[in-house]
Amino acid sequence: MKSTLKIAALAAAAGLTLAACSTPAPSTDPTTEAGGGETSEATDAPEEPAAGPFSIGVSNAFVGSEYRTQMIEAIEEVANEYKEQGLLSELVMENADADVNGQIQQVRNLINKGVDAIIIDPNSATALDAVFKEAEAQGIKVYAIDQAVETESVLNIGISQQDLGAASAEWFAAKVGDGAKIVTIEGAAGSPATEARWAGAEPIFAEHNIEVLTHGDGGWDQTTGQTVATDLLATYPDIDGIWTYDGMAQGTLKALEAAGKTDSVQTMGEARGGFMRMWNDLRDTDFDTAGVINPPGTGATAMHFAMNELQGKTLDSSKVTDGHSIILPLAPLVTGDNFDEIWEQIKDNGDGYVVDSIMSADEVAAYFQ
């Protein structure tokens, strides 16, 4: 796996260290009674925190995405560091395309294998509730990444997809102007991230009296995004812009190039190698865009949270939102102002690379009492 980049400008603005993760050593503090003396063999003595090694399961039900590939690679890299420390015995993968019912089975498979914790990129915000409760009944802690779920026993860890949608829409609205007519190409219908991003964008567009003529379903896929964009450009030849994100942004840009409209139809993007390469090739034209950053390294960050809790550490409640969410700070948009710096650092990583950030073990430790 490619090393996570150190992008100083992003780190300063987002409060994150964009660097390879370090792994904490097991706690060696002796268990003591409330009065400070040594623990006795009395039945009411506090339970000594588990020392491991632990096993952690991963459920990912969408594999046709560069984002998810990079997410899994980052999880595996951090897992290997914990294995070297003797804290992790096994990383159990359930990594295959599946609908909601298939993902429910993935989680049940992990429960049956007796894992101590589960990291999941969920297909639904609500439909997995019952199986999450099955895991809870077995003492298995669940961590939802990338997309939040409503189950209160699950700890959501990630950026706010709603805030990401709002930030993207703010930049885009300023470019197309008040009263513009646009179309959108969004992620798969019903996906928690799709719904959250639109919840952030919709009021921004309404505030600027921007008319959304239709919503296209790009299915989180570059090829699908290109096909949908091509169709929409033919159906709505006079639109002012196409609001999109993820791998669909590169597909949309390909459609705009093919139609000769890169300078007349505004588009939005995401900070990925392929999109930024095409953007770089258009820098000497009137083309302008911006890219949001949705870090796939959130899964690796969640691994740090899981290992802390498995070792008996307690989250600082002041750092938890809504009782079960850790909201990570957004990195600033990639724009024409910071493009050169970021492109210089990622240009050799390939089209599939997603600009990333992973919290270090020390940074995650600051979330615990």
Continuous segment of H or E residues that includes residue 166 = helix 161-176
pLDDT classification of 8: cutoffs 50, 70, 90: very low
For residue 121, which phi and psi values (nearest 5 degrees)?
A: -100, 100
Identical fold at 8-26+53-159+295-344+351-365 and 161-292?
A: yes
Please state the separation of Cα 351 from the chain's center in Å.
Answer: 18
Q: How far apart are CA 321 and CA 339, in angstroms?
A: 32
pLDDT over 50 (residue 254):
yes
74-89 per-position pLDDT tens digit:
999 999 999 999 999 9
pLDDT, the chain, mean: 89
Q: How far apart are CA 220 and CA 218, in angstroms?
A: 6
For tokens 């002012």, the residue is 240
Which residue, 125, 131, 83, is CA-closest to 110? 131
Q: How far apart are CA 78 and CA 306, in angstroms?
A: 12
Please state the separation of Cα 97 from the chain's center in Å.
Answer: 18
- When pLDDT is averaged across residues 322-331 and rounded to a whole number, the result is 96
The better pLDDT of the pair 16, 285 is held by 285
Give the CA distances from residue 93 to residues 101, 105, 140, 169, in Å, rounded to whole numbers and listed in that order. 17, 13, 16, 36
Q: How far apart are CA 195 and CA 354, in angstroms?
A: 21
- Residue 75 burial (CB count, 10 A): 28
In what side-by-side order are the strands of the sheet with 181-186? 211-217, 181-186, 241-244, 266-267
**Residue environment code for 245-258, b if the CB has 16+ CB neighbours within 10 A, otherwise e:** bbbbbbbbbbbbee
Give the CA distances from residue 47 to residues 5, 37, 43, 313, in Å, rounded to whole numbers and listed in that order. 40, 15, 10, 12
pLDDT of amino acid 319: 97
- When pLDDT is averaged across residues 174-191 and rounded to a whole number, the result is 97
pLDDT over 60 (residue 28):
no
pLDDT of amino acid 269: 96
Q: Is 340 exposed, middle or buried (0-12, 13-18, 19+ CB in 10 A)?
A: exposed
- Residue 330 burial (CB count, 10 A): 21
pLDDT over 50 (residue 131):
yes
DSSP characters for 234-245?
A: HH-TT-SEEEE-
CATH number of 8-26+53-159+295-344+351-365: 3.40.50.2300
Instruction: Answer for the pair 64, 224: CB distance below 8 angstroms, yes or no.
Output: no
Residues whose CB falls within 8 Å of the CB of residue 77, separated by 6 or more in sequence, listed in order: 1, 20, 21, 300
Residues whose CB falls within 8 Å of the CB of residue 181, separated by 6 or more in sequence, listed in order: 210, 211, 213, 236, 238, 239, 240
The percentage of the chain sitting over the pLDDT mark of 90, rounded to a whole number, equals 85
Domain ranges of the chain: 8-26+53-159+295-344+351-365, 161-292
Which residue, 16, 27, 20, 21, is CA-closest to 5? 20
93-109 per-position pLDDT tens digit:
999 999 999 999 999 99
pLDDT classification of 337: cutoffs 50, 70, 90: very high
pLDDT classification of 51: cutoffs 50, 70, 90: confident
pLDDT classification of 50: cutoffs 50, 70, 90: confident
Which residue, 300, 264, 19, is CA-closest to 143? 300
339-356 per-position pLDDT tens digit:
999 999 999 999 999 999
pLDDT of amino acid 38: 38
pLDDT over 80 (residue 13):
no
pLDDT over 70 (residue 43):
no
pLDDT classification of 59: cutoffs 50, 70, 90: very high
pLDDT over 80 (residue 5):
no
Which residue, 263, 360, 307, is CA-closest to 79? 307
For tokens 């919840």, the residue is 199
**SS3 state of residue 281:** helix
CATH superfamily placement of domain 161-292:
Response regulator (3.40.50.2300)
